[in-house]
Amino acid sequence: MMSAGSSFITSVRVHFCALFKQFAFTEVGAHDEPSFASLTARNATHYLRVTCDFRDRFVSASFGPLVEDVVPPVPIMPAREASQVREVPSGVILWATTGDKHSSFAVGKYDQQDEEGTDAAVARLAGALGRHGALILAGDRGAWTRAAELTVARQWRP
């Protein structure tokens, strides 16, 4: 039987495969602990980090630019200004394109604490990013600016 982290990483590889190919991401690391797992991929300019917190039963992703051609560590403090944002969470990416804050942040939540629940959440997140995240994942500056502004403000401004 696979650990929860191994199962999650396998789910990310399966469900994010099309996005990774579409935007030329290659896997650069995976991390598996009893309460947390992640898989990080990068392309020539950006990274996408997909994570799962098994305690909170939540799957999310973060997207950002490489720093000196390297995937930077997870930011320890939130940015105070949009120009300081180093990565944008998947909930914000989806909110910026759909206008639906609640659904955008709930897409990665799962209730069933097993492989099926985690897999379903990974599939939902990959599907949502595929449908609504193409501009930012392609490196569009306007989409990045809008998402960075929402990351800081947490308030919808048309």
Express each pLDDT in 47-73 by its tens digit: 999 999 999 999 999 999 999 999 999
Quote the CA–CA distance of 144 and 113 in Å, as a whole number: 33
Say if 88 falls within a structural domain.
yes
Buried b (16+ CB within 10 A) or exposed e, 112-141: eeebeebbbbbebbbebbeebbebbbeeee
Total count of domains within the chain: 1
- What pLDDT is recorded for position 158? 57
Task: Tell me the residue range of the domain where 135 lies.
Answer: 4-67+76-153
Q: CA triplet 26, 28, 29: central angle to 5 degrees?
A: 135
Strand ranges in the chain using DSSP code E only, listed in sequence order: 26-32, 36-42, 46-53, 58-65, 88-89
- Above 70 in pLDDT, residue 1? no
CA distances from 145 to 32, 33, 54, 88, 134 (A): 32, 33, 31, 10, 15
CB 157 within 8 A of CB 148: no
Residue 97 has pLDDT above 80, yes or no: yes
- Classify residue 56: in a domain, yes or no: yes
Residue 158: inside a domain: no
pLDDT score of 94? 97
- 3-state class percentages of the chain: helix first, strand second, coil last, to nearest 5: 45, 20, 35
Select from 138, 140, 147, 145 the least CA-distant residue to 19: 138
